[in-house]
Amino acid sequence: MKKDLLDFTLEEITHEISALGWPKFRSTQIFRWLYVGVKDFMEMTNLSKGDREELQNKYSIMNLTLIKKQESREDETAKFLFQLSDGEMIESVFMKYKHGNSACLSTQVGCAMACSFCASGQEGLVRNLSTGEMVDQILSMSRLQSERISHVVLMGSGEPLQNLGNVVKLMKIINDKEGLNISLRHVTLSTCGLIPEIRELASFKLPINLAISLHASNDDTRRRLMPVSRGYLITELINVCDEYASVTGRRVTYEYALIKGVNDSIADMQQLAKLLRGKLCHVNLIPINPVEGSNYQATNKAHLIDLTRVLLKEGIVSTVRRELGSDIDAACGQLKRRTLKDY
C-alpha cells in the first residue's frame, strides 16, 4: 500500500522529500496543497508534471467517502457518515457557534470502553483511526460546509488516549501555520480517564484542553456506569488532572452526564464539589441523551438548576451543555459505527 501524505507532519514530509533527492522547499509546497484540500496530485500546479507523477506513484492522499449528511432542524449542526478505505464507517459532526466552527472527530471505529450510557461502545472496538483519517474528517467537513473550522473536539466515537500516537501527530499537523493553523488552545480532548495515558499526554506539553468523562462523584456509581473506571480511583484521576493543568496551564473540564435517580442527587453534587474545591477546573453538566438499548432518563430542568446552585454555592463553576444535534443523533454519546441500514 502507498504511504498516505495526510499521515505526515510537515517535518515528516520533508524527510520523504529529501529521500527523493528533491529540494526542501518542495515539502512546504506540497503540504500547503494538502491543506487547501487538494486530493489529486495533478492539481499541484507549482510542481513539474514529472514530479507530480512521481508523487502519485509513491503516495496517496486520504479522501473519505461521504455516504450521508444529516442536518439538524433545530440548530446548525450537521452529522456526516464517512466510509473508510476498508469499508468501515465513522461519524463526525460539524457545529456552528458564535465563536467559530467546531469539528467533532471520531478517533476509533467503535470503542472498547463500554460505558453503559453510550452508543459508541455498544459493538466494541474495531480499530484505531489513522492520523490521515482524522485529519480528513476536518478537511472533508470544511469542504462540504464551505466553512473554515477553527475548533476541534475529540469527542466522537472512540477513546482518543488509546490512539495517542496518531492523536499527537494530528495535533502537530492541524496546528501547523503552513496548513490548517488551528490553535491548540481551541482543541479539546475528551477521555474516560485513563490515568497512565493522561500522564503521557501531559509529557507532550501540548496546550490542548482536557475534558474528563467523570459522570459520578463516588467510585461505586462510576464503576457501575463505566467499566473502565474499575482500575482507577476518582481521587487518583483528579490528581493526575491537576498535574495536567499545572504542566500545560490549561483548565480541566469535568463532564457529568446526569441520569435520573442514578447520579443526580443533591448529595452527589455536594460530593462532586468536595472533590473539586479550589481547583482550576470547570464542570459541564449534560442531561443524558437517549441512546437505543439503554433505559436511562435525563434529569429534569428544574432539578438541574438546583444542582448547578449546589455547585455554585461551593464555588465550582459549571455550565449546562447545550445539546446540539440531538434530533439527528449527533449529540454526546449518540455517535456510533453505523451502516446505511441505521439511517
Contact positions toward ligand SAH, by CB under 6 A?
113, 115, 117-118, 155, 159, 190-192, 213, 255, 257, 286, 288-289, 291, 332-333
Q: How far is the CB of 284 from ligand SAH (least distance, A)?
A: 8
Q: How far is the CB of 343 from ligand SAH (least distance, A)?
A: 19
b/e per residue 194-213 (b: at least 16 CB within 10 A): bbebbeebbeeebebbbbbb
Let me know if 147 is exposed, middle or buried by CB neighbors in 10 A (0-12, 13-18, 19+). middle
Cβ atoms 105, 152 nearer than 8 A: yes
Q: How far is the CB of 161 from ligand SAH (least distance, A)?
A: 8
Q: What angle do CA 253, 254, 255 make, to 5 degrees?
A: 115
Using CB atoms, what's the residue nearest to ligand SAH? 333
Is 91 a catalytic site residue?
A: yes
Distance CA 184, CA 178 (A): 15
CB atoms within 10 A of CB 340: 10
Quick one: which of 113, 64, 71, 60 has its CA closest to 90? 64
Residue 142 vs 188, nearer CB to ligand SAH: 188
Place of cell 481521587: 235
Residue 160 vs 179, nearer CB to ligand SAH: 160
Helix (H, G, I), strand (E, B) or coil at 87: coil
Distance CA 327, CA 141 (A): 19
Residue 89 vs 225, nearer CB to ligand SAH: 225
Q: How far is the CB of 177 from ligand SAH (least distance, A)?
A: 28
Q: How far is the CB of 336 from ligand SAH (least distance, A)?
A: 10
Is 323 a catalytic site residue?
A: no
Q: How far is the CB of 46 from ligand SAH (least distance, A)?
A: 40
Let me know if 26 is exposed, middle or buried by CB neighbors in 10 A (0-12, 13-18, 19+). buried
Residue 10 vs 281, nearer CB to ligand SAH: 281
Q: What angle do CA 34, 143, 106 make, to 5 degrees?
A: 85
Distance CA 93, CA 330 (A): 7
Instruction: Choose, from 111, 115, 281, 332, the residue flagged as catalytic.
Output: 332
Helix axes 164-175 and 131-145, enclosed angle (nearest 10) = 40
Residue 102 vs 289, nearer CB to ligand SAH: 289
Residue 4 vs 91, nearer CB to ligand SAH: 91
Instruction: Choose, from 11, 88, 91, 323, the residue flagged as catalytic.
Output: 91
First to last CA, the chain: 32
Q: Taking the CA of residue 43 as centre, how many other CA atoms within 13 Å lie in the half-sphere pointing to its CB?
A: 11
Residue 10 vs 225, nearer CB to ligand SAH: 225
The alpha-carbon radius of gyration of the chain (Å, integer) is: 21
Q: How far is the CB of 13 from ligand SAH (least distance, A)?
A: 29
- State the alpha helices, DSSP H only, in 176-233: 195-203, 219-225
Active-site residue list: 91, 332
